[in-house]
Amino acid sequence: MLLEKVEDLGLKAVEAAFGVRPERISIDFTDKFGDLALNCFHLAKVLRQAPPKIAAQLAEQLVDGEIVSEAEATSGYVNLVLTDQALFEGTLTPILEHPTTFGGQIVTDDAKTAMVEFSSPNTNKPQHLGHVRNNCLGDSVARLLCTSGLRVIKANLVNDRGIHICKSMLAYQREGNGATPESTGFKGDHFVGQYYVLFEKRFREEMANYIAEKNVEITKEDFFKVSKWGQAAQTMLQDWEAGRKDVVDLWRTMNSWVMAGFKQTYSDLGIEFDEYYFESDTYTLGKEIVEQGLAQGVFYRRDDGAVEIDLSAEKLDKKVVLRSDGTSVYITQDIGTTVRKAEDLNVDRQVFVVGDEQIYHFKVLFSILEKLGYAWATSLHHLAYGMVNLPEGKMKSREGKVVDADDLMEEVAGLAAKEISERGGKDDGDASERAQKIGMAALKFMILSVSPKTTMTYDPKASVAFDGDTGPYVLYAFARIRRMIEDSEMSETQVGFDPAVLQDASERRLALKLLQFSRTVARASKDLNPALVCTYLLQLAHAYHSHNRAVKILKAETKALREARLALSLATAHTLKRGLGLLGIETVDRM
């Protein structure tokens, strides 16, 4: 690889000039003089000299005529100009020879295993816009981690138990009248979600009547304790935990409806999972571990019988892990589930994709697991992401005021179809499929283009624009190249070309942008941030369009120049496709 060759050249130059070979050097891309810059500030501590002095001594050593043609010391950096031969061959050949794997490490049989847990929906309602961000982010992070040589397991912990599930069940039991998704024509998760909203409606009606009759003020939490609907839901939960047959049978039936609906949503999003976990199977797992930790002195029992841990030394609070009646709390379940995942599947690293409102929860969970002595606990990571809103504002799921994931996907596909039609696109029988792919590209790209930590606003209409910083804009660049390659009748497996004929400045800029791909992917994988890939792809698309305006490709002056520019174009298409694939986005050959 070209960047590795430059780094090796730099290491040899340092050794020749100073008699010391450092473990590594830092080579960065630069927009100023040159193509790359060797950072001498990173060498100052090892060489015990000022960065400008180091740079001055290294400049002459770095020009070898084969890889580097010019070197200039500037303010503690050595700016490097790559030879044309090295730049074009070193950049294009690896892409053309390995179009589906370049830019990342190969996963070997002895690779370490990482698990990315994401989605984690509740089986009392359909998924919404917030889940879309979670799903897209988790899927892309898993894809990125694969490029770092890890074996990656995509896991989904489904929240299928608890009072919120019983609310839907109770409303259906009382007012469902035996209806089913099949009898009503509703998708299973949408069908069940209606009853979650119905419970909330009946609860609010009951609360309003109570306040009017009693002439008192009361919070929802306090009213739930005296509410007939609330008490009935709580009783149903107790019956479920006790294994009452009719309640468990209803729970299984309604969960099956929801999971069938979720399966369709995931399919439409192009997302698959390797492992499913269900809270109904895991919610008691942590109790045994807590009892062991109690015997080891990690936890202590309070006077009221509750088991607790004091994390004040970690700047956290005290945390109850078992109630005084011996029942588990939410974090008890997470302790057991996390241990089970790590040990059953021999997982070395776990990434939890969960909203930033749970930051404190995961700090507590990770601290507890470390204190319990699990060596892998230090490799646990909470990828916290911000809320996603629409231009109209926030969502309220209990009131049914949500942006449904299925409706959203249908909307963006419709907007994409309209955009295709308005641009004079022909329907060759696949217009609907293309609109679906373009819509998904628009949705995923806008969602992923924002750093995970940032709260964002998703605008469906803006996301499908073919112009601007959007997924369709990047798709268009790919489709444009694909059409040109077809018209050229160039072989997809053609690799050979003459780099000496590529003399235009736009060709050099494009090749340098292609060279940045592997570095971008490595950083995105390290930071768990797909937004870096989105930014890169936009820059690459801009660079290609600029190049396409600057030179003739199919009508180039000579056959050698035509072939070289087509090779550069094909390498760009491969890179666009590879980068979009890391975002979970399918390409289209025409828009």
Question: Do 560 and 443 fall into the same domain?
Answer: yes
* Residue 512 maps to a domain: yes
pLDDT at 395: 44
* Residue 426 maps to a domain: yes
Question: Do 75 and 170 fall into the same domain?
Answer: no
Burial of 228 (0-12, 13-18, 19+ CB in 10 A): exposed
Alpha helix stretches (DSSP H) within 176-304: 181-184, 188-214, 220-226, 228-241, 245-269, 279-282, 286-296
Render pLDDT for 63-95 as a digit per residue (tens, 0 to 9).
Answer: 999 999 999 999 999 999 999 999 999 999 999
Is the predicted pLDDT of residue 249 greater than 90, yes or no? yes
Question: Do 47 and 185 fall into the same domain?
Answer: no
DSSP character at residue 106: P
Is the predicted pLDDT of residue 382 greater than 50, yes or no? yes
Overall domain count for the chain:
3
What is the domain-level CATH number for residue 44?
Answer: 3.30.1360.70
pLDDT at 70: 95
Question: Do 60 and 205 fall into the same domain?
Answer: no
pLDDT at 219: 95
Angle, to 10 degrees, between the axis of helix 228-241 and the axis of helix 163-175?
110
Render pLDDT for 177-193 as a digit per residue (tens, 0 to 9).
Answer: 999 999 999 999 999 99
* Residue 331 maps to a domain: no
Domain of residue 514: give its range. Answer: 406-582
Compute, in degrees rounded to 10, the torsion defined by CA atoms 517, 518, 524, 530: 40
* Residue 491 maps to a domain: yes
Cβ pair 591, 434 in contact under 8 A: yes
Question: Do 78 and 170 fall into the same domain?
Answer: no
Question: Do 437 and 558 fall into the same domain?
Answer: yes
pLDDT at 401: 56
Which amino acid is residue 465, in one-letter code? A
* Residue 312 maps to a domain: no
* Residue 461 maps to a domain: yes
What is the domain-level CATH number for residue 482?
Answer: 1.10.730.10
Measure the CA–CA gap between 188 and 239, rounded to whole angstroms.
24
**Domain stops at, among 242, 257, 272:** 257
Question: Do 552 and 438 fall into the same domain?
Answer: yes
Measure the CA–CA gap between 296 and 566, rounded to whole angstroms.
67
Question: Do 424 and 539 fall into the same domain?
Answer: yes
The candidate with the shortest Cα–Cα distance to 568, out of 515, 511, 490, 527, is 511
Is the predicted pLDDT of residue 421 greater than 50, yes or no? yes
Question: Do 66 and 175 fall into the same domain?
Answer: no
Question: Do 214 and 78 fall into the same domain?
Answer: no
CA R_g for the chain: 29
Render pLDDT for 254-304 as a digit per residue (tens, 0 to 9).
Answer: 999 999 999 999 999 999 999 999 999 988 899 999 999 999 999 999 999
* Residue 95 maps to a domain: no
Question: Do 50 and 180 fall into the same domain?
Answer: no
Is the predicted pLDDT of residue 397 greater than 80, yes or no? no
Cβ pair 465, 412 in contact under 8 A: no
Question: Do 438 and 541 fall into the same domain?
Answer: yes
Query: For residue 427, what pLDDT band results from cuts at 50, 70 and 90?
Result: low
**Domain stops at, among 234, 257, 280:** 257
Measure the CA–CA gap between 28 and 71, rounded to whole angstroms.
14
* Residue 549 maps to a domain: yes
Helix (H) or strand (E) holding 520: helix 517-527
**Domain stops at, among 37, 54, 82:** 82
Measure the CA–CA gap between 504 and 514, rounded to whole angstroms.
16
pLDDT at 431: 85
Render pLDDT for 469-498 as a digit per residue (tens, 0 to 9).
Answer: 999 999 999 999 999 999 998 887 777 899
pLDDT at 430: 82
pLDDT at 496: 84
